[in-house]
A and B are shown apart, each in its own frame.
Chain A
Amino acid sequence: MSSNPWFSWDYVQTNWDDISARLVEHTTLTIEAVVIGFVIALPLAALAANVRWLSGAIIGTASVLYTIPSLALFAILAPILGIGRTPVLVGVVVYALLVMIRNTVAGLAGVDPDVVDAARGLGYGRARLFWTVEMPNALPGVITGLRLATVSTVALVTVGVVVGYGGLGQLMFRGFQTFYRAEIVTATLLCVLLALVLDLLLWALGRAMQPWLRTRSVA
Chain B
Amino acid sequence: MSTIDDALVWLNDPYNWTGPGGVLELGAEHLRMTAAAVGIAAVLALPLGVWLGHTGRGAGVTILVANSTRAVPTFGIILILATTGLFGNGAAIIAAAVFAFPVILANTFTGVHGVDRDVRDAARGMGMSGLRIVGLVELPLAVPLIAAGLRTTIVQVVATIPLAAVAGGGGLGQIINFGIGNQRYGQVLAGGLIIAALALVIDLLLGLVQRAVTPSYLDAPRGGRRRRRTPQPGPARPVPAGEPGRP
Contacts and interface: CB of A to CB of B under 8 A. Distances in A.
Interface of A: 4, 56-57, 59-60, 62-64, 66-76, 78-80, 98-99, 102-103, 109-110, 140-141, 144, 147-148, 151-152, 154-156, 158-159, 161-163, 166, 168-169, 172-173, 175-176, 179, 181, 184-185, 187-188, 191-192, 195-196, 199, 217-219
Nearest to B81: A184
Given A59-B247, A69-B199, A73-B192, A169 B235 contact: no
B11 to A, nearest CB: 13
Contacts of B177: 162
Interface in B144-201: 155, 158-160, 162-163, 166-167, 173, 176-177, 179-180, 185-186, 188-189, 191-196, 199-200
B48 interface: no
Interface stretch (B71-79, B101-109, B122-130): B71-79
B176 A72 contact: yes
Interface stretch (B111-119, B211-219, B238-246): B238-246
- Main secondary structure on B side of the interface with A: helix
Contacts of A179: 83
A3 B199 CA distance: 41
Nearest to B83: A181
A80 B177 CA distance: 17
21 contacts: A63-B242, A67-B155, A68-B199, A69-B196, A71-B162, A71-B173, A71-B195, A72-B162, A72-B196, A73-B192, A73-B196, A79-B3, A80-B1, A80-B3, A148-B70, A158-B75, A188-B73, A191-B76, A192-B71, A218-B233, A218-B234
B211 to A, nearest CB: 16
Interface in B209-237: 226, 233-236
B138 interface: no
B82 interface: yes
A74 B192 contact: yes
B139 to A, nearest CB: 28
B41 interface: no
- Main secondary structure on A side of the interface with B: helix
B180 A163 contact: yes
B42 to A, nearest CB: 20
A185 B203 CA distance: 33
Contacts of B4: 79-80
B188 A154 contact: no
B53 to A, nearest CB: 20
Contact of A56 (B195, B234, B247): B247
